[in-house]
Amino acid sequence: MPSASAAIDQKIKDLGDWRGKTLAKVRTLIHAADPEIVEEWKWAKATNPGTPVFSHAGIVCTGETYKDHVKLTFAKGAALQDPSRLFNSSLEGNVRRAIDIHEGDRINEPAFKDLIRAAVALNLESKNKPKPSSSERPG
């Protein structure tokens, strides 16, 4: 199994169209927003080759590609402030939010980087939150 970064490189190459260029672009923006992002390749099985995942103290977002769009799903998107209204998909969920990018769409790069940084901060905050001791737990 190749490394996750190599698998993402291959995915971009195999797409060979605007979707590959878009995935490469958002990947660059994600790393620019947070140089400590870790690339992972998850959920590969016989019916699905796998999904690029960008993590820092937990999943920040996934980078899925479909016939007519690239979907960036933020694992805890519903908990993030989105003043630039980048989220345009999965808005009804209680946890995740997504950004669907169609051919020709422009990405608000500063707002996107801010969203990545906010997702990382939320992951770090959640990870560093002390767990209640057994005497403090209800029940």
Question: Please, which residues have CB within 8 angstroms of residue 124's CB and are 6 or more apart in sequence?
Answer: 56, 57
Strand 69-74 to 59-65 pairing: antiparallel
Model confidence band, residue 131 (pLDDT cutoffs 50, 70, 90): low
Radius of gyration of the chain (CA): 16
Q: What CATH number did the domain enclosing 75 receive?
A: 3.90.1150.200
Residues 24-50 have pLDDT tens digits of 999 999 999 999 999 999 988 888 788
**Structural domain count of the chain:** 1
Would you say the pTM of this structure is higher than 0.85? yes
> How large is the average pLDDT for residues 89-105?
93
Name the CA dihedral angle for 96, 97, 102, 108, rounded to a multiple of 10 degrees.
-130
Residues 9-19 have pLDDT tens digits of 999 999 999 99
Does residue 132 belong to any structural domain of this protein? no
